[in-house]
Amino acid sequence: MRRAVLDLASPRPVWAIPDATVEAVRQAFGRGWEIVSVAAPALSDGDGAAGSGEAVQAAHGAEVYAGWGVPPAVMAAGSGVLRWVHTAAAGVGASITPALRATGARLTNSAGVHAEPIADWVLTAIGFWLRGFPAALRAQAEQRWAKDEFTNGSVPVRELAGTRVGIVGLGGIGRAVARRCAALGMEVAAVRRHPTRARPAGVGWVGGPGKLTTLARRSDVLVLAAPQTADTKGLVSAAILTALPRGAYVINVARGGLLDEDALRRALDDGQVGGCALDVFAREPLAHGHPFWRHPRVLVFPHVSAVSARFWARETALLVDNIARYRSGRRLRNLVNLELGY
């Protein structure tokens, strides 16, 4: 019997694999396959890739593995046999290890699965800042009727239509953000690794990574939606933040390592950046006492922008489709380039 391992029993209910998905996977593989669903909890935070003893044991002799990240111990256990490994996370930084490379197994991820809810979060964050919600929340906490502040210009408020949104990265998340922003009349531009490819719907201008300063200069809102790789770590530096129009907003749903957080704090303190919405941080959880917790220009979310009741419907569809592709020898969807890191 050929074996596939599902190591997706997250202790967080929204990410825990449902019985219906296990059965759908079993049906997709069909006869001749043993499907092992690991009961031990699997870390689903960030890029995952912790690995339980039960998962490692199940990986011995397995041909296919799906988990929250790909633990090195699992790869070592399946060395010489594993042919395809899948992560239910979008990020793959913790999964691309020497142990993975040594097996020669193909790696797929779930980037597109998370795009829609994350893009919803980004759009909500844009409205939160542009329409003055932080000022309203502060006034409510003080039981203060702040009509004068909203009508005398003290609180900066603007319409979404005509706002210039710059997107760093045009993968599934970046494209989903662009569609939403364009539909509401925002002017969308972006940078990505391959700028000569056809522009996605809603994007008016696309530049390469070397044009990030140009993008910053023309962005009222800068959205980070690129994977973290050796090339993108620290990409949004103090120089990029200084290039933004004064009072611009920064939204990060990529990884904390893309953004110089110390430079961001200084830019927030002096008003160069008017506000930011951060779902990811260089170190998670965000440390108790960190300046971002109480900063009036920072919206802190605990890396949950992808949360959605529809996740498992999308993830199951991706798994079933890729199982059919794997069995027929066709190219897998969401195949990760190990050299590029996404």
Supply the residues annotated as catalytic. Answer: 255, 284, 303
Please tell me the distance from the alpha carbon of residue 297 to that of residue 277, in angstroms, as a whole number.
9
Beta bridge partners of 108: 86, 335
Q: Read off the tokens for 272.
A: 């160069």
Question: Residue 193's closest CA among 220, 217, 174, 221?
Answer: 174
Angular region, 95: left φ>0, alpha ψ -120 to 50, beta rest: alpha
Question: Residue 304's closest CA among 117, 173, 109?
Answer: 117
Please tell me the distance from the alpha carbon of residue 306 to that of residue 114, in angstroms, as a whole number.
5
Phi, psi of 207 (to 5 degrees): -120, 170
Beta carbons within 8 Å of 32's beta carbon, 6+ residues apart: 1, 2
Is the bond preceding 285 in cis, omega lying within 30 degrees of 0?
yes
Q: Read off the tokens for 306.
A: 């992808």
